[in-house]
Structure 1
Amino acid sequence: MWQEAEKLFVVNKAASSSHENKLMKTVIVVHGGAWDVPDAAAEATVAGVKNAAQVGDTVLRSGGSAIDAVERAVRCLEDDPTFDAGHGSVLNAAGEVELDSLIMDGKNLAAGAVASVRNIANPVSLARAVMEKTDHVMLTDRGAGMFADSISTPLAHDLVTELELEEWEHSNSYRDGVKRFFNTNRGHDTVGAVALDSFGNVACATSTGGIRNKMVGRVGDSPIIGSGGYADNGSGAVSCTGHGESILKVTLARLILFHMEQGKCALEATNMSLQHMFDRVKGCGGAVVLSSTGEWAASFTTPRMAWATVTEDTLHHGFNQREHFTEKL
């Protein structure tokens, strides 16, 4: 049972000292999905999250907003065929790509999301457009496609990789896929990011292609505010990954922030919430979490989750349980 095993957790409390200055010390944390990543994909997966974290950090260092940083970081992961978001996404039961994404600004709780969208390389940017250009929070399927066309979003017809097509042809069912994605070496790579900018604002973004062989129209946690992600300057920001149906049932992102609002540190709040999800619905997953003071955590209950964060001049990253490497930038 996973609750008996060691869980990876990383926490950094030093950033909270930034209250002494007018400008906050910026932080960005990204993840590449919580599952049993195969050894063959390990190097590319770690490289991908490290690159995304540095891209987001560049935005923050230049004075950019947290919302800009998480969008840029997640776009990097959507463009990387190593991950299940945008290029490289898994196929549904009909052999099609259907993408889900959300983005949320902790400054004013503005949020945007899209679900079951097709032929869009960067659904996180479409989600942001929903947030900024409509009076709605979420658009789905045909309506999301019509909106994308109305704002001249370019279509992408190269989202399916040969590797995914081969995996899909050899897969048996969604039920089989759920077991394999989280416990063996067949991928589930929801991606996400959280950030704190120099003005004290937090943001989150999450994006995914879902689970292989899902029913057409299936929507998991990733685009659902409070489940796949949440951001509020009053507490912090979260991006979740794992078994979507389980995350939905416990509203994982909001649950983590609830515990933080009750005085728990980011690490304890995350681990308590992941434990609750397993106890109640036997679901596994992970999350990256960032408090409004800059304290961050990365925790997961699956065999592996690639994560990376940049704080000041240091890149932190990990992949296996209890793994934490640092590199000076």
Structure 2
Amino acid sequence: MMKPVLVVHGGAWAIPDMLAEASVDGVKAAAQAGSVILKSGGAALDAVEVAVRVLEDNPVFNAGHGAVLNTDGEVELDAIIMEGKTLAAGAVSSVRNIANPVSLARAVMEKTDHIMLTDSGANLFAESIGVPSVPAHVLVTEQERKAWKHYKKYTVGVKELFKMQCIHDTVGAVALDAFGNVACATSTGGIRNKMVGRVGDSPCIGSGGYADNKSGAVSCTGNGEAILKVTLARLILFHMEQGKSACEAADCSLQYMAERLQGGGGAIVVSPTGDWSAMFSTKRMAWAAFKNERLYHGLNPKEMFEETLN
């Protein structure tokens, strides 16, 4: 029996001080929710889904109820979930009116013969299996409406937002359960002012996330186009397969992406032995991890706090 591990992130970007405390509290709550599953002998797949649902329900984060708006002022959501025993995966992209796209992604994995459904097809599938839809305005905060109008007025493009690290980014989770199975989940509202129909790395297998019992599980965050070009999740696991630790693999992969593409980002990683890491090349990334009845968390570079779980 393995000692369970869970790591979550709330997005790698220049998190402003006004959101710092809420971001850390949010990832800690998600990690604690997922840890309850693992401590009771539950599956890694269930733990990452529960953790990401908590983040999707928290308007502080760019997923579900805190999603950003595209150029038309609409919400389009992406998510992936994957388990490492059989390499089963499910994903959705550009879905609307769905509060928890990570659970819809899991339904794609378990109830269809496909890996990814997109746009209206994903929403039709959700309707067919009884997933409730929510009014679009429920998923958008007043702060996001104001930010969208501001950037729209001054025609600030996506490239400029990335350079300023002002992208309110992705959420995700990785886990190792007591039976040695790993899983990952990633969910996002994408980039503010993105083109209608734009899909980034988050729902793409090998880029936004990957899980394999033979090498580990990864969830990524950051510049989606750069992450797609280097298939960041799979690149990290490749380095782990060559003998690097979770920390070393994430660090060198993020450095490669920065040097080759000037892309910033972050990743959370867990290995089949319980080695874990939360690394980022942006100014901040809110993250939390559970292992051995301890909760670890951080926000700034090279920062880690530790406390005992109740």
TM-score (normalizing by structure 1): 0.91
Correspondences of 1:114-133 after superposition (within 5 Å): 114-133=92-111
Matched, 1:165 2:138: no
What is the number of equivalent residue pairs in this alignment? 306
Change (3 A) 1:73 1:174: farther
Provide the residue aligned with 2:164 in structure 1.
183
**d(CA) in 2 for partners of 1:90, 1:176:** 14
Deviations along 1:11-37, one digit per CA (max 9) or x if unpaired, are xxxxxxxxxxxx110000000000000
**Amino acid across the alignment from 1:179:** E
**Cα drift, residue 275 of structure 1:** 0.8
Task: Specify the SS of the correspondent of 1:84.
Answer: coil
Aligned partner of 1:243 in structure 2 is: 223
Q: Deviations over 1:67-120 (max 9, x none)?
A: 000000000000000000000100000000000000000010000000000000
**Residue 251 of structure 2 is aligned to residue 277 of structure 1:** no
Deviation at residue 328 of structure 1 after TM alignment: 1.1
Residue 322 of structure 1 and its aligned partner are, at CA, apart by 1.1
Once the two structures are TM-superposed, the CA of residue 160 in structure 1 deviates from its matched residue by 1.0
- Cα shift at 1:313: 1.3
Partners in 1 of 2:33 and 2:292 — Cα distance?
14
What is the Cα deviation at residue 123 of structure 1?
0.1
Alignment partner of 1:42 is 2:20? yes
Contact 1:104 1:231 in 2 (8 A): yes
Indicate if the aligned counterparts of 2:10 and 2:285 stay in contact, CA closer than 8 A: yes
* Structure 1 unmatched runs, 5+: 1-22
**Equivalent residue letter for 1:304:** R
Alignment match of 2:78 (pick from 77, 88, 100): 100
* Residue from 284, 288, 293 that aligns with 2:268: 288
Q: CA deviation at 1:180?
A: 3.0
Cα distance, 1:318–1:236 mapped onto 2, change above 3 Å: same
Corresponding residue for residue 234 of structure 2: 254
CA contact (8 A) 1:36 1:181 kept: no
Residue 26 (structure 1) aligned with residue 7 (structure 2) = no
Q: What CA distance in whole angstroms lies between the structure 2 residues aligned with 1:138 and 1:168?
A: 28
CA distance in 2, matches of 1:306, 1:178: 23
- What does the per-residue CA deviation read over 1:28-71, in whole Å, with 9 as the maximum and x for residues that have no partner? 00000000000000010000000000000000011110000000
The residue aligned with 1:12 is none
The match for 2:64 is 86
> SS of the residue aligned with 1:125?
helix
Q: 1:316–1:174: structure 2 CA closer, same or farther, 3 Å change rule? A: farther
2 CA distance for matches of 1:124 and 1:74? 7
Rounded Cα–Cα distance in structure 1 between residues aligned with 2:118 and 2:174: 24
Q: Residue by residue, what CA displacement relative to the aligned partner does 1:209-240 show, whole Å, maximum 9, x if unpaired?
A: 00000000000000000000000000000000
**Alpha carbons of structure 1 residues 142 and 95: separation in structure 2 relative to 1, 3 Å:** same
Instruction: Tell me the CA shift for residue 181 of structure 1.
Output: 5.0
Q: Which amino acid aligns with 1:79?
A: D
2:291 to 300, 303, 311: 311
Identity of aligned residues (%): 68
CA distance in 2 between counterparts of 1:278 and 1:174 reads 26
Matched residue type, 1:44: A
Matched with 1:210 is: 190
Q: Alpha-carbon deviation of 1:177?
A: 3.9
User: Take 1:51 and 1:174, find their aligned partners in 2: how far apart are those partners?
Assistant: 36
Structure 2: segments with no counterpart, 5+ residues: none
